[in-house]
Amino acid sequence: MVDRADRFIEVSLDKRGVTCTAKLLDDRAPITCEAVWNALPLGGDVYHAKYARNEIYALLEPFAPEEPPLENPTITPIPGDLCYFTFSDTQLGTKSYGYEAQAKHQGKRQVVDLALFYERNNLLINGDAGWVPGIVWGSVVDGLDRMADACQDLWRAGALGETLSFRRA
Kindly give, in sequence order, each residue whose CB lies less than 8 Å from that of residue 126, ignoring residues fewer than 6 positions away: 51, 132
Do the beta carbons of residue 137 and residue 36 sit within 8 Å?
yes
36: CATH: 2.40.100.20
* Band of residue 1 on the pLDDT scale cut at 50, 70, 90: very low
Instruction: Domain of residue 115: give its range.
Output: 8-168
pLDDT over 50 at 161, yes or no = yes
In a domain, 2, yes or no: no
In a domain, 1, yes or no: no
The phi and psi torsions of 150 (rounded to 5 degrees) equal: -65, -35
Stretch (H or E) spanning 109: none
pLDDT digits (tens, 9 = 90+) for 37-52: 999 999 999 999 987 8
pTM over 0.85: yes
In whole angstroms, give the CA distance from residue 150 to residue 16. Answer: 7
Do the beta carbons of residue 135 and residue 6 sit within 8 Å?
no
pLDDT digits (tens, 9 = 90+) for 14-30: 999 999 999 999 999 99
Percent of the chain with pLDDT over 90: 77
In a domain, 3, yes or no: no
Q: What is the count of structural domains for the chain?
A: 1
Mean pLDDT computed over 126-153: 94
Residue of 14, 18, 17 lying closest to 142 (CA atoms): 18
In a domain, 106, yes or no: yes
